[in-house]
Amino acid sequence: QLRIMCMAKGFKLNDVFDRLQTALDAVEAIDGIEFAKSGKYGFVTSCPSNLGTGMRASVHVKVPNLTSDGTDTKAKAAAKPLGLSVRGTGGEHTPIGADGTIDLSPSNRLFITEAEIITKLYNGIKLLLEKEEAAGAPAPAAAAEAEA
């Protein structure tokens, strides 16, 4: 099992994904390295929830107006209809950042394509920043960290 992470500040999800793809292509080009892959199900990983693409992508978005009550309730309400989960910046079961930073990622990782993951994140960032702006101060221009 191999875990490769690509991170960058800002909202340029395609740039981060392109860097990830370049890294994966380099690893897969090494003689003797083969990853378990099913023609029907995609990559077989140690975590069944990641069967398929094997990719987990998330963004850290600062939404202090939506989290001004100390909870992520408003952010979760906005994200859920888009099929996105909100959690703390330290991962599952961690609190949101003191500055209102949340981790946003697709709820469903089973049988979802890379393109669907990036599209969901893009739409989620756009919606959350619109709701953040409506809830108070203007949305931050580039206060996110993308991880793919």
Provide the mean pLDDT of the chain.
82
Amino acid at 115: A
pLDDT at 130: 94
pTM summary value? 0.75
Where would I find the beta strands (DSSP E) of the chain? 7-9, 37-38, 42-43, 58-62, 84-87, 101-106, 144-147
User: What confidence tens digit (pLDDT) does each residue in 61-72 have?
Assistant: 999 999 999 999
Across the chain, how many H-helices and E-strands are there?
3, 7
pLDDT at residue 142 above 50? Answer: no
